[in-house]
């Protein structure tokens, strides 16, 4: 495991010392792990949404082409 060093204001450190039963290192470690999981999930979802956006754009394009074809067909049937 790697170690990191954090800086907190002196008044915060004093307040932290008042809660000696609290494992501040473990608390911060867990917060970092949870936040990195959250950000990784968010990044993954954004990638998936981007892929779906491409598919959505393709679907809209195809729908427009179908609508044009249907409109032409309807006009042709009315003229006959």
| Model pLDDT, residue 79 | 58
| Dist. CA 24–CA 17, nearest whole Å | 10
Is residue 3 included in any domain, yes or no?
A: no
For residue 17, tell me if it sits in a domain: yes
pLDDT tens-digit map of 53-63: 888 888 988 88
pLDDT digits (tens, 9 = 90+) for 5-61: 999 999 999 999 999 999 999 999 999 999 999 999 999 999 988 888 888 888 988
Query: Which pLDDT score, from 0 to 100, does residue 40 have?
Result: 98
* Vertex 76: Cα angle to 71 and 80 (nearest 5): 150
Instruction: Please indicate, yes or no, if residue 24 is contained in any of the structural domains.
Output: yes
Please report the pLDDT score of residue 54 as a whole number. Answer: 83
DSSP 1-33: ---------HHHHHHHHT-TTS-HHHHHHHHHH
Print the domain residue range for 23: 10-79
């Amino acid at each position: 495991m790697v170690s990191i060093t954090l800086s907190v204001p002196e008044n915060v450190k004093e307040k932290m010392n008042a809660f000696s039963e609290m494992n501040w290192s473990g608390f911060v470690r867990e917060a970092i792990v949870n936040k990195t999981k959250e950000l990784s999930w968010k990044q993954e979802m954004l990638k998936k949404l981007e892929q779906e956006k491409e598919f959505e754009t393709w679907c809209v394009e195809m729908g427009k082409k179908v609508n044009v074809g249907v409109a032409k067909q309807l006009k042709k049937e009315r003229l006959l």
